[in-house]
């Protein structure tokens, strides 16, 4: 593998002109020149071929030289310099209309650069990191590990010295927050403060690295990058069940899976030999993108968007490159072409995932993830089921003789004899075919309904008309379908379902939220029934296991035996009994409702749009299988039987056979019954677990099209999977798929993966990356503050075999990390943004950490790792304001009990309306990859930490503990509180101020007991009744104030 | 030199990242920049000059009709369609343009003429459907664009396009741009507020999402603050039960005293900023209840806006709230009104939709005019696309459905320097294609920015190495005919 370097980059060796000219330090292209050219020249004279003016490229030395824009060493003879210095508005570069103006200094630098030979360099991040020599420093005593040499060298050069080491208390809090996202527990803190061994610090670090909270804290950042959330994102924004991936991330990090393996499994776990279930779960990384199921959406348009999202995410996370510009045109600054982008995208363009998410929680491809303990049993059931189904298939082959025998004797009339009339309480042919009237027969009487919302469509077969309901729910009958749950009944019709995710064909059902009544339900191609007393605490819901295409005629029929059990419902499609899926099965109370029977809807306006049907029937008994068959396909089958055998087509014979084997062949029926039973058991085990959204390759070779301007319908050349030209080529022996790609990322010749990764880790600990533009290591990104340190870290990480814990330990045991955050005027002047690390990093905690901090320091936090996402407190209306009616994430139902107190990374993340308090505190929206978080400081944030019940309740809980366990007097209780909150004791001055406030609050609440009562009952948990309520109220509000201190909110 | 003095200067610079501008000056970013605090201007506006013209509009109230109102049932009168009832849309009109997959499979595309009566109003003779009697009364105040067009054919990308200039999510919305460029006009309220009004009819409510009012690559504080009709009007605004304003003030004083100690000992400018933010939070707590208390409105207000304005969360109530916000210096108010997605039962639903908004819009325009605020407040009304002349699903003379139609739709503006009584753009007899003066979303955005005093080409922010702008990379043009 070799690195491609444009020829001219080596033409002039930079630095060889050192000593020439007045400047002591020679100019360096990457540091001094490229930023000027990139900002001012590359937009028109750079990599983007479409935008290029005058055919001139300045980003590649070879091209610039060939174009003759400069003569190395002779600025006086160089057009470039002439144009840049020109006073003529028509001549000057950059042109006036670009509004770009070079400063006098920049012009001089360009001139000097040409004078020094106009040397080029490949962009720094595309060059392999070089092992730097550890810098020599004056203050050797300060150095704890090699990191410190680089930092100290920078400080000494700037004439600064490092800050003193922070107090042990501060360090304990800082370490705990950085490594686990939680404050140190009191006992752990006490132990650490008392530990005088020389390696006490390292021991403390090790303990934190072993905590399960480590994986949660690191995982949280990773999930930002992976854009993990609990809904699909677009339109209905329904629930997506993929927390198994989130838990995989936490587990992998807790197990200290090396970063190379972590990468391989997430990008290509499914392609690994003998891939385990866990390795497949890991591929969820590429399934976290937002998806749609909006009616009317064009599939190809979204498939293109999904692939683009996956490609951009992988680029940001591993390559640190912003590829999205290259979607439409060659990158303006980086040598990344549109072809590069689409070639890269081809790796991620070969999945079996469809364009529409189906509004379901488990959009294929998925895998069942049973509970760990059930895994062997479940696997056995799956095997047995396969075996049984094989036997069913075999029976199909072997039963031909029996079928032929039956066929010889079968009589068409006999089939029609089964046509049921008994118990027919309501029916309608719905074949009037014109006009605004339809006739129902109710209990033997004709009833004419006249409605403007009647329309007519053609029924497929036989050639007849069918009713189309224009306005769903407009046609109603008050006295039809009034059944109690202990009454058997049956209903059905010939139906043509519209292309709509779900809705009822007809129903007798009350309005939400109870939904009392019953309906004939259609959901994602499946037929079913709801029988409800109150959804979903007392209700039955069943669906067919198989799906049926919309816009195709089916005879669909439902029978119910009056047992109040889901098992008592059978659904037939074209006369064939269906295997059922039980969604809900806990009906215990009355299902009768005063709501009328409605066509196409459960309540006016909410229903299947333009459902079409004819031959609608309702019986007051459960029909038998042959009766249903007679209703549906029997007419057709009878005609087939009546036909002379020689005239039947093979397809017609198959129709007869399919019907016969599922309704009359006893061996098959027996096998099918067993299969259904096993299927139920398998499903039962599965239902106790969860699912994983996974990647699954199509059998075809991966490819993609270059798209003009990125538009899905403007295809240009077809391209194969390939890595960007500017980076080292993939080794020949690597497969051209995601696995090969992942291995390419991890090869020692790759200049970016390790650099980008260690930079992100650095950012997690020091608040900003060595390269501050964490996701952009390209030309437009910022240069590293300490380039040699970045290279050293990148190589060290690989030398340590990508060991993440070891790497973080190295960071936090450096002297640089252990500095106090105190700022002096000198440092503020010379190192305003702390780029030199002249002091300990100090910044506001992340949204999740702020909430977790309140929970943990108060003692309310429930430390359960993983599992389904939870719904803690959220103000009313946040979801409802934006969600569609019918979205299953429209009504936010706050959990109770321990789910209120889980870590914030387990909070249910609805993409269209992220958790309100998290969003205010700058959590990314999880729609696209985020490798860096914003930190603002706003009044809305103050309102969250002051008023959110989560914080007030936590304050009260800590108050209760202080009153119980913090001794008798104010001072010891405050010590108890401050140890939990800031890992130190307040100074006397601080204590005085706090005590004054406390006394005033106490006086108030003693006077206004009612207010005290209100305050301490805010939140779900109950206050300790044994404690004095006024005093507890005063503590609650005092601690609420303390939780809002800058010191608490900041690390 | 005292420590605090030094920090204060940095603190001032830092507050540019915050929701409100620092100190006692109620100044926006633009004003601060014009005072010559160069760092601020450069940082805020990518080193570009901006606010290149004297703005006509200081405030915007944007009324977005979610789902896409049917232009031919409201504004775009097509009498010839009467003769085309139930006849197929000619291929010469459709021109093979793409359709959504909701109707692309339809065997026929039968023309559905509007069932509503139209009449002409105002000096320019604008046509209004009978569903909009109040709008007809103020025809001379409104500026109509009948030739809006977009490429998006589905709601999510189309609304995102309308709000952010791009179909793919992630860019800042119009309100965020305005907040970013012009800053705040007041010390106690957000710069950019969003409200989601509840439609009376909810037959086919469409999804919207918080991403529509996001700040994208602009600093987060330029995202809209939702004003809500349920619970706290601003999230977490109210103190916990049992905590009065006076008690809260006492605890805030306590927090401040302790934070000042931290500031002295650590010297982080961010601590001073935090102190200011807590003070602003308190001011917001005290000013918002007054703002949302409609009891102070006289009877005449409800005569003007209609009785529905008394109902929290209604569209009429939201626009009245918008007027109160604008009066108090909120820069940009965005209101969403849903249920315009008339795939079916267009005839049954449109009367409900129009009843929700018609008088309320009249009230808003007249109210602002009476208060002398109309000249400086730009009102925008419209959806994300139009609807098809052909019927989706069953067709009768009395009822029909209409699918999404991106190629033409009608929007209107009022006040804020746009031209009153103007009609711009023309569509063909089928209201299917534009025959004169097309206005693309990006032209529309360029025109709005112009009214706000910005040259859309130069109002940019550096992101991912590019000078990003609301109007994107394609050529956009300001429509001079829309300017007063």
Query: Which pLDDT band holds residue B19 (cuts at 50, 70, 90)?
Result: very low
pLDDT at B15 over 60: no
**Tens digit of pLDDT for each residue in A895-944?**
999 999 999 999 999 999 999 999 999 999 999 999 999 888 999 999 99
Put simply, whether A461 touches B (Cβ < 8 Å) is: no
Coil vs helix vs strand at A527: strand
Q: Nearest CA of chain B to the CA of A536: how many Å?
A: 23
Contact B101 A1044 (CB under 8 A): no
pLDDT of res. A523: 87
Note whether residue A54 is domain-resident: yes
Predicted local distance difference test score (pLDDT) of residue A602: 83
**Cα separation, A815 vs A149, whole angstroms:** 10
A482 and chain B: CB distance < 8 Å anywhere? no
C-alpha A688: how far from its chain's center?
A: 23
pLDDT at B3 over 50: no
Token readout for A176 is 């705990």
- Report the pLDDT value the prediction gives residue A462, as an integer from 0 to 100: 54
**Regarding beta strands A464-469 and A476-477, do their DSSP bridges make them parallel or antiparallel, or are they unpaired?**
unpaired
pLDDT at A713: 87
Q: Give the best residue of A470, A929, A945 to mutate against chain B (max B CB count within 10 A).
A: A470
Q: Quick check: A335 and A789 in contact, CB under 8 A?
A: no
Confidence class for position B27, pLDDT limits 50, 70, 90 = very low
Higher pLDDT, residue A675 or B101: A675
Tell me the pLDDT tens digit for each residue of A547-559: 898 888 899 999 9
All residues of chain B having their beta carbon less than 8 Å from the beta carbon of residue A605 are 201-204, 345
Answer whether residue A298 shows pLDDT above 50: yes
* B118 close to B128: Cβ distance less than 8 angstroms: yes
Query: For B425-452, how does the pLDDT look when each residue is reduced to its tens digit (9 = 90+)?
Result: 999 999 999 999 999 999 999 999 999 9
Predicted pLDDT of residue A330: 78
The pLDDT of residue A455: 85
Of A305, A470, A824, the CB nearest to B345: A470
Q: Which of B49, B186, B243 to mutate to test the interface with A (most CBs of A within 10 A)?
A: B243
CB atoms A881 and B458 under 8 Å:
no
Interface contacts (A, B; CB < 8 Å): 308
DSSP 8-state class, residue A708:
G
Please tell me whether the peptide bond between A63 and the residue prior to it is cis, using omega within 30 degrees of 0: no
> Which DSSP category does A735 fall into?
-
Query: What pLDDT band is residue A19 in, cutting at 50, 70 and 90?
Result: very low
Interface contact flag, A1045 B214, Cβ < 8 Å = no
Q: Do residues B207 and A912 make contact, with C-beta atoms less than 8 angstroms apart?
A: yes
| CA-based torsion, A170, A176, A181, A186: positive or negative | negative
HEC string for A933-953 = CCCCCCHHHHHHHHHCHHHHH
C-alpha dist (Å) from residue B316 to A221, B232, B374? 43, 20, 18
The SS3 assignment for A455 reads strand
Name the residue facing B261 among A884, A942, A990 (closest C-beta).
A990
| Cβ–Cβ under 8 Å, residues A219 and A1013 | no
**How far apart, in whole angstroms, are the C-alpha atoms of residue A108 and residue A592?**
88
Which of A106, A122, A138 is a domain's end point? A122
First-last CA distance in chain A: 44
User: Are the C-beta atoms of A689 and A377 separated by less than 8 Å?
Assistant: no
Interface of A with B in 943-972 (CB under 8 A): 943-944, 946-949, 952
Q: Are A611 and A498 in contact (CB under 8 A)?
A: yes
Cα A770 to Cα A787: distance, rounded to the nearest angstrom: 8
- Inspect the interface and report whether the beta carbons of B396 and A470 lie closer than 8 Å: yes
pLDDT at A419: 75
| Å between A201 CA and nearest CA of chain B | 24
Partner-chain contact B344 A471, CB within 8 Å? yes
DSSP bridge pairs for A507: A519, A598
Name the pTM for this structure: 0.79
User: A736: pLDDT confidence band, cut at 50, 70 and 90?
Assistant: very high
Closest Cα in chain A, distance from residue B437 (Å): 25
Q: Long-range contacts: A46-49, Cβ < 8 Å, 24+? A: A46/A332, A46/A333, A47/A330, A47/A331, A47/A332, A47/A333, A47/A334, A47/A335, A47/A336, A47/A337, A48/A329, A48/A330, A48/A331, A48/A332, A49/A330, A49/A337
The pair phi, psi for residue A603, each rounded to 5°, is: -145, 155
Q: Is B435's Cβ below 8 Å from some Cβ in A? A: no
- Percent with pLDDT over 90 in chain A: 66
Range(s) of the domain holding residue A568: 421-622
Asked if B36 is an interface residue toward chain A (Cβ–Cβ < 8 A), one would say: no
Instruction: pLDDT band for A417, please (50, 70, 90 cuts).
Output: low
Instruction: Tell me the CATH number at B112.
Output: 3.40.720
pLDDT of residue A17 exceeding 90, the answer is no
Task: Judge whether A871 lies within some domain.
Answer: no
**pLDDT-derived band at A189, boundaries 50, 70, 90:** very high
Structure tokens that stand for A483 in this block: 């059944």
Does any CB of chain A come closer than 8 Å to the CB of residue B6? yes
For A268-277, A1004-1013, B27-36, which range has the lowest pLDDT when averaged over its residues? B27-36
| Mean pLDDT of all residues in A109-131 | 91
- Sort out which chain A residues have CB atoms less than 8 A from B211's CB and list them: 911-912, 925, 927
In this prediction, residues B326-332 reach a mean pLDDT of 95
Asked if residue A1024 lies in contact with residue B234, where contact means CB atoms within 8 angstroms, the answer is: no
- Mutation choice for B interface testing from A915, A937, A1047 by most B CBs within 10 A: A937
Of the three residues A622, A641, A670, the one that is the final residue of a domain is A622
**Of the candidates A922, A925, A997, which has its C-beta nearest B250's C-beta?**
A997
Residue B20 has pLDDT above 60, yes or no: no
Q: How crowded is residue A921: how many other Cβ atoms within 10 Å of its Cβ?
A: 27
**Is the distance from CB of B97 to CB of B90 less than 8 angstroms?**
no
Answer whether residue A984 is part of any domain: yes
Decide if A192 is inside a domain: no
B37 near A CB under 8 A: no
At residue A640 the predicted structure's pLDDT band, cuts being 50, 70 and 90, is confident
C-alpha–C-alpha distance, residues B62 and B122, integer Å: 23
With tokens 């000219």, the residue in question is A21
Q: Where are the alpha helices (DSSP H) in A186-285?
A: 186-194, 200-210, 212-226, 243-254, 259-268, 277-282
Highest mean pLDDT pick, A297-311, A625-639, B28-42: A297-311
pLDDT of residue A472: 64
Is B70 within the bounds of a domain? yes
Q: What is the mean pLDDT of residues A680-699?
A: 92
Q: Is residue A346 part of a domain?
A: no
Task: Give how many domains chain A has, as a whole number.
Answer: 3
pLDDT of residue B33: 36
What region, left, alpha or beta, does residue A246 occupy, with left being phi > 0 and alpha being psi -120 to 50 degrees? alpha
Average pLDDT rounded to a whole number, residues A396-421:
81
Residue A1027 falls inside a structural domain:
yes
Looking at this predicted complex, what is its ipTM? 0.82
Question: Is residue A569 within 8 Å of A577, Cβ to Cβ?
Answer: no
**A949: nearest CA partner in chain B:** B240
- Please count the structural domains in chain B: 1
Beta-strand pair A502-509/A597-599: antiparallel
State the residue for tokens 């490429």: B151
**Residue A292 at interface with chain B, using a CB cutoff of 8 Å:** yes
Is the pLDDT at A708 greater than 80, yes or no?
yes
CA distance A945 to B34: 35
Per-residue burial over A1023-1036, b if 16 or more Cβ lie within 10 Å, else e, is: bbeebebbbbbbbb
**Proportion of chain A above pLDDT 70, given as a percent:** 96
Mean pLDDT calculated for residue range A78-96? 90
Query: Which residue do the tokens 């390759």 mark?
Result: A697
The band of A1012, judged by pLDDT with boundaries at 50, 70 and 90, is very high
Asked if the model's pLDDT at residue A13 lies above 90, the reply is no
How would DSSP label each residue in A537-554? TEEEEEEESS---TTSEE
Q: Is B431 part of any domain?
A: yes
Instruction: Classify residue A955: in a domain, yes or no.
Output: yes
Chain segment A386-396, per-residue pLDDT in tens: 999 999 999 99
Whether the CB of A928 is below 8 Å from some CB of chain B: the reply is yes
Q: What is the mean pLDDT of residues A849-878?
A: 97
Number of Cβ within a 10 Å radius of residue A654: 11
Q: Is the pLDDT of residue B209 over 80?
A: yes
- Which has the minimum average pLDDT: A372-376, A448-452, A868-872? A448-452
- Residues of the domain holding B127: 48-229+312-482
Q: What is the mean pLDDT of residues A257-262?
A: 98
**In the structure, what pLDDT confidence band is assigned to residue B341 with cuts at 50, 70 and 90?**
very high
**Closest alpha carbon within chain B to A839:** B266
Q: Is the pLDDT of residue A603 over 50?
A: yes
Q: Which residue has the higher pLDDT, A837 or B18?
A: A837
A positions 834-853 inside 8 Å of B (CB): 842-844
| Contact B472/A at CB under 8 A | no
> Mean pLDDT for chain A?
90
For residue range B213-246, list pLDDT tens digits in order: 989 889 888 999 999 988 899 999 999 999 999 9
- Reported as a single tens digit per residue, the pLDDT across A488-528 is 999 999 898 888 778 889 999 988 777 899 999 998 889 99
**pLDDT value of residue A460:** 62
Residue among B376, B382, B429 at smallest CA distance from B409: B382
Is A715 strand, coil or helix? Answer: strand
Give pLDDT, residue A20: 36
For residue B192, the cross-strand partners are B332
Q: What is the mean pLDDT of residues A738-745?
A: 98
Nearest to A944 by CA among A1050, A1044, A843, A1051: A1044
* The pLDDT of residue A960: 98
Q: What is the pLDDT of residue A329?
A: 78
Query: pLDDT band for position A569 (50/70/90)?
Result: very high
Written as one string, the DSSP assignment of A631-659 is IIIIHHHHHHHHS-GGG--HHHHHHHHHH
- Whether the per-residue pLDDT at A307 is higher than 50: the answer is yes
* Confidence band for A171, pLDDT divided at 50, 70 and 90: very high
Domain-embedded: residue B275: no
Run of H or E including A1001: helix A988-1007
CB contact under 8 A, A237 and B209: yes
Least reliable range by pLDDT among A130-139, A547-556, A624-633, B14-23 = B14-23
Q: Does B404 touch chain A (CB under 8 A)?
A: yes
Is B135's pLDDT higher than 80? Answer: yes
Hunting for tokens 């860019």 — which residue is that? B171
Mutate to test the interface with B, among A939, A944, A1010 (most CBs of B within 10 A): A939
Task: Mutate one of B242, B270, B312 to test the A interface: name it (highest A CB count within 10 A).
Answer: B242
- Dist CA A237 CA A884 (whole Å): 8
E strands present in A377-488:
424-428, 437-442, 445-450, 454-459, 464-469, 476-477
Q: Tell me if A539 sits within 8 A of A533, measured CB to CB.
A: yes
Above 90 in pLDDT, residue A543? yes
- Average predicted confidence (pLDDT) for chain B: 87
From the list B204, B266, B395, the residue facing A821 with the nearest CB is B266
- B86 at interface of A, judged by CB pairs closer than 8 A: no
Query: Is B218 a domain residue?
Result: yes
Give a yes or no: residue B255 inside a domain.
no
- Under the phi-then-psi rule, with left for phi > 0, alpha for psi from -120 to 50, and beta for the rest, what region is A815? alpha
User: What are the DSSP E strand ranges found in A443-486?
Assistant: 445-450, 454-459, 464-469, 476-477
| E strands in A851-988 | none
* A275–chain B nearest CA distance, Å: 35
Is the pLDDT at B50 greater than 60, yes or no? Answer: no
How far apart (Å, rounded) are the C-alpha atoms in residues A165 and A522?
Answer: 67
Minimum-distance CB partner of A1004 among B232, B247, B259: B247
* pLDDT tens digits for range A126-145: 999 999 999 999 999 999 99
Tokens linked to A612: 């079409």
Count of positions (residues) in chain B: 484
Do the domain assignments include residue A980?
yes
Residue B144 has pLDDT above 60, yes or no: yes
Query: What HEC string does chain B produce?
Result: CCHHHHHHHHHHHHHHHCCCCCCCCCCCHHHHHHCCCHHHHHHHHCCCCCCCCCCCCCEEEEEEECCCCCHHHHCCCCHHHHHHCCCECCHHHHCCCCCCCCCCCCCCCEECCCCCCEEEECCCCEEEECCCHHHHHCHHHEEEEEEEECCCCCHHHHHHHHHHCCCCCCCCCHHHHHHHHHCCCCCCCCCEEEEEECCCCCCCCCCCCHHHHCCCCCCHHHCCEECCCCCCCCCCCCCCCCCCHHHHHHHHHHHHHHHHHHHHHHCCHHHHHHHHHHHHHHHHHHHHHHHHCHHHCCHHHHHHHCHHHHCCCCHHHHHHHHHHHHHCCCCEEEEEECCCCCCCCHHHHHHHHHHHHHHHHHHHHHHHHHCCCHHHEEEEEECCCEEEEEECCCCCCCCCCEEEECCCEEEEEECCCECCCCEECEECCCCCCEEECCEEHHHHHHHHHHHCCCCCCCCCEEECCEEECCCCCCCCCCCHHHEC
Q: Which of A622, A644, A666 is the last residue of a domain?
A: A622
The pLDDT value given to residue A331: 74
In this complex, is the C-beta atom of A1033 within 8 Å of any C-beta atom belonging to chain B? Answer: yes
């Amino acid at each position: 593998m070799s690195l491609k370097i444009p020829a001219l980059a080596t033409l002039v060796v930079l630095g060889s002109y050192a000593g020439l000219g007045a400047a002591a330090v020679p100019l360096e292209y990457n540091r001094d020149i490229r930023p000027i050219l990139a900002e001012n020249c590359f937009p028109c004279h750079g990599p983007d071929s479409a935008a290029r003016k005058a055919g001139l490229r300045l980003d590649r030395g070879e091209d610039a030289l060939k174009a003759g824009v400069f003569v190395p060493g002779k600025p006086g003879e160089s057009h470039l310099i002439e144009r840049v210095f020109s006073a003529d508005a028509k001549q000057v570069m950059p042109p006036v209309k670009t509004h770009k103006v070079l400063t006098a200094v920049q012009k001089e630098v360009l001139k000097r650069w040409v004078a020094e030979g106009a040397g080029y360099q490949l962009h720094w991040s595309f060059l392999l990191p070089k092992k730097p020599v550890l810098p020599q420093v004056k203050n050797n005593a300060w150095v704890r590990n090699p990191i410190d040499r680089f930092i100290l060298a920078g400080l000494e050069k700037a004439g600064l010295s490092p800050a003193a080491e922070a107090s042990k208390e501060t360090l304990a809090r800082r370490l705990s927050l950085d490594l686990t996202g939680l404050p140190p527990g009191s006992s752990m803190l006490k132990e650490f403060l008392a530990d005088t061994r020389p390696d006490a610090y390292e021991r403390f670090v090790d303990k934190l690295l072993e905590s399960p909270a480590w994986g949660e804290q690191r995982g949280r950042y990773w999930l930002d990058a992976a854009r993990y959330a609990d809904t699909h994102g677009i339109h209905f924004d329904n629930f997506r069940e993929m927390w198994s991936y989130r838990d995989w991330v936490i587990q992998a990090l807790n197990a200290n899976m090396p970063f190379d393996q972590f990468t391989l499994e997430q990008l290509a776990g499914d392609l690994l030999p003998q891939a385990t279930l866990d390795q497949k779960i890991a591929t969820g990384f590429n399934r976290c993108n937002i998806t749609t199921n909006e009616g009317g959406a064009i599939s190809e348009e979204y498939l293109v968007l999904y692939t683009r999202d996956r490609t951009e995410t992988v680029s940001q996370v591993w390559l640190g490159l912003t590829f999205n510009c290259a979607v439409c045109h060659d990158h303006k600054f980086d040598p990344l072409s549109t072809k590069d982008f689409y070639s890269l995208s081809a790796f991620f363009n070969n999945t079996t995932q469809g364009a529409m998410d189906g509004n379901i929680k488990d959009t294929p491809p998925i895998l069942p993830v049973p509970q760990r303990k059930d895994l062997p049993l479940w696997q056995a059931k799956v095997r047995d089921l396969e075996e049984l189904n094989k036997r069913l298939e075999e029976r199909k082959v072997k039963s031909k003789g029996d079928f032929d025998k039956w066929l010889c004797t079968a009589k068409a009339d006999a089939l029609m004899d089964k046509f049921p009339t008994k118990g027919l309480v309501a029916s309608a042919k719905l074949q009037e075919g014109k006009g605004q009237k339809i006739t129902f027969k109710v209990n033997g009487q004709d009833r004419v309904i006249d409605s403007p919302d009647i329309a007519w469509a053609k029924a497929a077969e036989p050639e007849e008309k069918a009713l189309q309901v224009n306005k769903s729910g407009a046609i109603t009958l008050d006295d039809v379908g009034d059944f109690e749950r202990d009454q058997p009944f049956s209903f059905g019709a010939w139906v043509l379902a519209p292309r709509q995710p779900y809705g009822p064909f007809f129903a007798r059902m009350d309005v939400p939220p109870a939904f009392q009544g019953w309906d004939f339900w259609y959901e994602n191609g499946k037929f079913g029934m709801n029988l409800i007393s109150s959804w979903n605490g007392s209700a039955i819901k069943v669906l067919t296991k198989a799906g049926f295409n919309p816009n195709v005629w089916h005879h669909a029929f439902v029978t119910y035996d009056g047992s109040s059990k889901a098992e008592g419902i059978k659904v037939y499609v074209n006369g064939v009994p269906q295997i059922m899926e039980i969604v809900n099965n806990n009906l215990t109370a009355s299902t009768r409702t005063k709501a009328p029977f409605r066509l196409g809807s459960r309540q006016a306006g909410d229903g299947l749009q333009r459902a079409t049907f004819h031959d609608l029937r309702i019986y007051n008994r459960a029909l038998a299988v042959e009766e249903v068959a007679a209703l549906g396909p029997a007419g057709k089958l009878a005609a087939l039987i009546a036909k002379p055998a020689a005239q039947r087509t093979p397809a017609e014979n198959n129709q007869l056979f399919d019907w016969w084997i599922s309704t009359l062949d006893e061996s098959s029926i027996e096998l099918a019954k067993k299969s259904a039973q096993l299927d139920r058991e398998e499903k039962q085990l599965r239902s106790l677990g969860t699912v994983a959204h996974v990647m699954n390759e199509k059998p075809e070779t991966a490819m993609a099209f270059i798209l003009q301007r990125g538009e899905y319908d403007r295809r240009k050349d077809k391209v194969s999977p390939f890595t960007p030209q500017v980076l080292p080529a993939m080794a020949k022996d690597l497969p051209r798929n995601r696995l090969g790609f992942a291995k390419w990322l991890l090869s020692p010749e790759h200049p970016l993966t390790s650099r980008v990764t260690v930079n992100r880790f650095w950012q997690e600990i020091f608040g900003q990356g060595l390269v501050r533009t964490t996701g952009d290591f390209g030309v437009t990104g910022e240069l590293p503050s300490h380039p040699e340190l970045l290279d050293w870290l990148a190589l060290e990480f690989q030398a340590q075999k990508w060991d993440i814990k070891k790497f973080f330990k190295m960071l936090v045991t450096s002297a640089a990390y252990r500095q106090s955050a105190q700022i002096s005027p000198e440092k503020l002047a010379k190192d305003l943004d702390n780029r030199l690390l002249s002091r300990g990093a100090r910044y506001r905690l992340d949204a999740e950490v702020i909430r977790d901090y309140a929970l943990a320091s108060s003692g309310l936090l429930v430390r359960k790792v993983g599992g389904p996402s939870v719904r803690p407190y959220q103000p009313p209306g946040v979801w409802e304001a934006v969600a569609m009616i019918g979205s299953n994430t429209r009504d936010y139902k706050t959990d109770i009990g321990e789910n209120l107190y889980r870590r914030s990374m387990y909070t249910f993340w609805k993409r269209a309306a992220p958790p309100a308090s998290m969003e205010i505190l700058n959590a990314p929206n999880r729609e696209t990859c985020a490798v860096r978080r914003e930190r603002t400081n706003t009044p809305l944030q103050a309102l969250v930490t002051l008023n959110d019940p989560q914080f007030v309740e936590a304050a009260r809980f800590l108050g209760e503990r202080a009153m119980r366990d913090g001794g008798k007097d104010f001072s010891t209780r405050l010590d108890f509180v401050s140890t939990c909150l800031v890992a130190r004791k307040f100074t006397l001055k601080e204590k005085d101020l706090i005590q004054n406030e406390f006394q005033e609050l106490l006086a108030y609440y003693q006077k206004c007991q009612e207010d005290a009562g209100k305050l301490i009952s805010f939140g779900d948990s109950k206050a300790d009744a044994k404690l004095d309520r006024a005093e507890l109220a005063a503590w609650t509000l005092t601690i609420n104030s303390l939780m809002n201190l800058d010191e608490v909110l900041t690390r | 030199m005292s420590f605090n003095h030094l920090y204060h200067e940095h603190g001032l610079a830092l507050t540019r990242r915050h929701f409100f501008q620092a100190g006692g000056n109620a100044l926006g970013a633009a004003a601060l920049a014009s005072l010559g605090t160069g760092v601020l201007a450069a940082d805020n506006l990518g080193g570009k000059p901006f606010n290149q013209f004297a703005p006509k509009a200081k405030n915007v109230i944007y009324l977005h009709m979610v789902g896409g109102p049917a232009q031919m049932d409201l504004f775009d009168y097509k009498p010839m369609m009467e003769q085309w009832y139930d006849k197929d849309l000619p291929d010469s009109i459709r021109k093979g343009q793409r359709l959504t997959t909701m109707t692309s499979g339809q065997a026929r595309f039968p023309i559905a003429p509007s069932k509503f009566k139209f009449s002409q109003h105002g000096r320019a003779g604008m046509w209004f459907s009978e569903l909009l009697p109040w709008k007809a009364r103020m025809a001379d105040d409104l500026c109509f664009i009948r030739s809006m067009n977009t490429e998006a054919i589905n709601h999510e990308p189309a609304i995102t396009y309308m709000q952010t200039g791009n179909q793919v999510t992630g860019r800042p919305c119009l309100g965020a741009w305005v907040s970013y460029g012009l800053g705040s006009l007041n010390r106690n309220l957000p710069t950019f507020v969003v409200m989601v009004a509840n439609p009376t009819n909810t037959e086919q409510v469409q999804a919207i999402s918080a991403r529509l009012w996001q700040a994208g690559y602009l600093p987060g504080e330029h995202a809209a603050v939702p004003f809500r009709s349920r619970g706290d009007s601003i999230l977490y605004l109210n103190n916990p039960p049992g905590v009065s304003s006076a008690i809260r003030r006492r605890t805030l004083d306590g927090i401040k005293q302790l934070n000042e100690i931290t500031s002295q000992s650590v010297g982080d400018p961010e601590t001073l900023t935090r102190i200011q933010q807590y003070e602003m939070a308190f001011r917001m707590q005290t000013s918002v209840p007054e703002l949302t208390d409609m009891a102070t409105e006289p009877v005449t207000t409800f005569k003007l806006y209609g009785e529905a304005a008394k109902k929290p969360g209604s569209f009429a109530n939201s626009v009245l709230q918008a007027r109160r916000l604008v009066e108090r210096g909120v820069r940009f108010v965005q209101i969403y009104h849903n249920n315009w997605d008339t795939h079916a039962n267009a005839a049954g639903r449109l009367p409900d939709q129009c009843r929700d908004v018609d008088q309320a819009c009249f009230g808003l325009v007249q109210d602002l005019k009476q208060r002398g605020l109309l000249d400086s407040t730009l009102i925008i009304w419209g959806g994300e696309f139009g609807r098809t002349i052909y019927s989706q699903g069953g067709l009768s003379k009395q009822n029909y459905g209409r699918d999404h139609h991106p190629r033409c739709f009608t929007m209107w503006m009022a006040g804020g320097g746009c031209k009153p009584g103007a009609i711009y753009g023309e569509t063909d007899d089928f209201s299917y294609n534009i025959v004169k003066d097309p206005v693309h979303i990006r032209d529309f955005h360029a025109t709005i920015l112009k009214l706000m005093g910005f040259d859309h080409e130069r109002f940019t922010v550096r992101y991912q190495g590019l000078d990003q702008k609301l109007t994107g990379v394609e050529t956009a043009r300001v429509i001079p005919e829309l300017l007063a």
